[in-house]
């Protein structure tokens, strides 16, 4: 599977392109701006891109009006074809957001129910509608809104007509736009039989089609199997990464990694390829969370060294900030052009290492050295071993552990490392040692 050897770059197009929050119905070819960023994304080392919702919606993209039409605020279907084609020409895969649990109030079938009530042929397209009740919008009927959000009307995914509508849309996305995968919004809410049929449908349309599910917490290994998906969002380690650094307690993240991917029998997701991230369009950016900007290198080293598929959120590669308490616009801004600084250069180096090293793409996880402020862990696959070392302290530390060999090539600096007498880790130092 191509995704397991990839570095993802995530873009929230409506914010990225500076589109108005409310759908104003005015056609503007903003999505073409993404093409201008392809050289930057390629220089960063990302070889897959995940685009948040691009189809016609009421406001933020997750309240879909039309699964078959690119949002007028972003442009046209032909514009999206150009974007996907440009990525493919540069060897980059494209994954779109699939919002199939709910739709917006502007969705044609829901508008028909509001107009015709019991006489609408679309009444059963939705999870629950009560004509004796009322909604916060004073519709004269009640319906189920996703998690109490009544701008998000929950679909009935057991209805064959609804499934056919969604599968026809997916067929269009694959055939017309040529996409390589779908990220399933709130996948933890989706009907399991729907997910099974979606898996079968996508596999019949395109080989190695990538299905990523958005989940929060749970038994990831079991969920992957039950949901018939290739990957899930690793929110458990997302929290563990920044919390471990801010609290100077690397035990938190290493023990989470051992529970998920370690060598013991109780490991719950060994061999899985979860999507790993430090931030995304829903959470505070990592540069606004960490106490010290020097720790950003450590955070990204852990992200790229641990098992999983690393994902970078646009702007965070140069240390852009954004706090969730300031609302979604703060997390989903418009940048006029990309920046490339020391952090970006470092992430680009990690990207190249990650993509080429089998142990980092498919290797197991074993902890070799662990204190509150320093850790060394091993990734191994087919006799290839890479040791990842991180020191989050502002003081050097000498790590004593059995490396299983004397010499290694340090992949970030290009230097040769001798483990004899212990390994000194510089303040905020990160190392990727490939054992000889």
CA dist 74 and 57 (Å) reads 11
* Whether residue 141 is found in the same domain as residue 160: no
* Whether residue 63 is found in the same domain as residue 116: no
* Whether residue 357 is found in the same domain as residue 376: no
* Whether residue 239 is found in the same domain as residue 385: no
Pairing mode, strands 430-435 and 384-391: antiparallel
What single-letter DSSP state applies at residue 126?
B
Q: Which of 155, 172, 197 is the last residue of a domain?
A: 155
For the chain, 436 residues long, give each residue's pLDDT as a single digit of tens: 999 999 999 999 999 999 999 999 999 999 999 999 999 999 999 999 999 999 999 999 999 999 999 999 999 999 999 999 999 999 999 999 999 999 999 999 999 999 999 999 999 999 999 999 999 999 999 999 999 999 999 999 999 999 999 999 999 999 999 999 999 999 999 999 999 999 999 999 999 999 999 999 889 999 999 999 999 999 999 999 999 999 999 999 999 999 999 998 888 999 999 999 999 999 999 999 999 999 999 999 999 999 999 999 999 999 999 999 999 999 999 999 999 999 999 999 999 999 999 999 999 999 999 999 999 999 999 989 999 999 999 999 999 999 999 999 999 999 999 999 899 999 999 999 999 9
* Among 395, 386, 385, residue whose Cα is nearest residue 428: 395
* Whether residue 108 is found in the same domain as residue 207: no
* Whether residue 311 is found in the same domain as residue 395: no
Contact (CB, 8 A) for 103 and 64: yes
CA dist 82 and 309 (Å) reads 26
CA dist 137 and 131 (Å) reads 14
Contact (CB, 8 A) for 428 and 295: yes
Pairing mode, strands 275-277 and 309-313: parallel
The boundaries of the domain holding residue 135 are 104-155
Q: Give the Cβ contact number of residue 329 at 10 Å.
A: 12
* Whether residue 271 is found in the same domain as residue 395: no
* Whether residue 71 is found in the same domain as residue 136: no
Q: Which of 341, 362, 383 is the last residue of a domain?
A: 362
CA dist 190 and 213 (Å) reads 10
Q: Give the Cβ contact number of residue 86 at 10 Å.
A: 16
Triad 133, 165, 168: Cα angle to 5°: 165
The CATH number for 431's domain is 2.60.40.1180
Give the pLDDT of residue 73. 98
pTM: 0.97
* Whether residue 345 is found in the same domain as residue 253: yes
Radius of gyration of the chain (CA): 23
Q: Which of 155, 174, 196 is the last residue of a domain?
A: 155
> Dihedral of CA 26/29/30/31: which sign?
positive
Helix 342-356 × helix 295-305 angle, to 10°: 10
Rounded to whole angstroms, the maximal C-alpha distance in the chain is 81
* Whether residue 283 is found in the same domain as residue 320: yes
* Whether residue 277 is found in the same domain as residue 182: yes
* Whether residue 41 is found in the same domain as residue 98: yes
């Amino acid at each position: 599977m191509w995704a397991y050897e990839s570095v993802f770059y995530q873009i929230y197009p409506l914010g990225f392109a500076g589109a108005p929050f409310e759908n104003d119905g005015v056609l503007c070819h903003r999505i073409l701006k993404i093409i201008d960023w392809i050289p930057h994304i390629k220089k960063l080392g990302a070889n897959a891109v995940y685009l948040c919702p691009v189809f016609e919606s009421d406001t933020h993209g997750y309240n879909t009006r039309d699964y078959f039409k690119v949002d007028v605020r972003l442009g046209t279907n032909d514009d999206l074809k150009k974007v996907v084609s440009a990525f493919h020409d540069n060897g980059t895969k494209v994954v779109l957001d699939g919002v199939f649990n709910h739709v917006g109030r502007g969705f044609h079938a829901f508008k028909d129910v509001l107009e015709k009530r019991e006489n609408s042929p679309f009444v059963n397209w939705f999870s629950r509608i009560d004509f004796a009740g009322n909604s916060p919008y004073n519709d004269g009927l009640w319906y189920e809104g996703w998690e109490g959000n009544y701008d998000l009307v929950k679909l009935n995914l057991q209805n064959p007509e609804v499934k056919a509508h969604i599968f026809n849309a997916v067929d269009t996305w694959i055939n017309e736009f040529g996409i390589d995968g779908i990220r399933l919004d709130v996948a933890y809410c989706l009907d399991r039989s729907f997910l099974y049929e979606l898996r079968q449908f996508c596999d019949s349309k395109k080989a190695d089609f990538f299905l990523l599910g958005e989940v929060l917490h749970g038994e990831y290994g079991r969920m992957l199997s039950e949901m018939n998906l290739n990957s899930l969002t690793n929110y458990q380690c997302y929290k563990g990464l920044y919390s471990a650094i801010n609290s100077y307690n690397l035990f938190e993240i290493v023990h989470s990694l051992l529970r998920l991917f370690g060598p013991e029998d109780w490991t719950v997701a060994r061999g899985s390829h979860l999507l790993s991230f430090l931030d995304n369009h829903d959470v505070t950016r990592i540069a606004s969370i960490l106490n010290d900007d020097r720790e950003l290198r450590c955070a990204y080293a852990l992200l790229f060294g641990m098992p999983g598929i690393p994902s970078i959120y646009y702007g965070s590669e140069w240390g852009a900030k954004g706090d969730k308490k300031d609302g979604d616009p703060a997390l989903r801004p418009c940048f006029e052009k990309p920046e490339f600084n020391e952090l970006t250069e470092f992430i680009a180096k990690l990207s190249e290492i990650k993509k080429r090293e089998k142990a980092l793409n498919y290797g197991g996880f074993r902890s070799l050295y662990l204190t509150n402020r320093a850790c060394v862990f091993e990734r191994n696959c087919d006799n290839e071993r890479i040791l990842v070392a991180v020191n989050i302290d502002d003081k050097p530390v000498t790590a004593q552990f059995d490396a299983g060999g004397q010499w290694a090539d340090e992949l970030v600096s290009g230097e040769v490392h001798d483990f004899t007498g212990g390994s000194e880790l510089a303040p905020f130092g990160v190392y990727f040692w490939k054992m000889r």
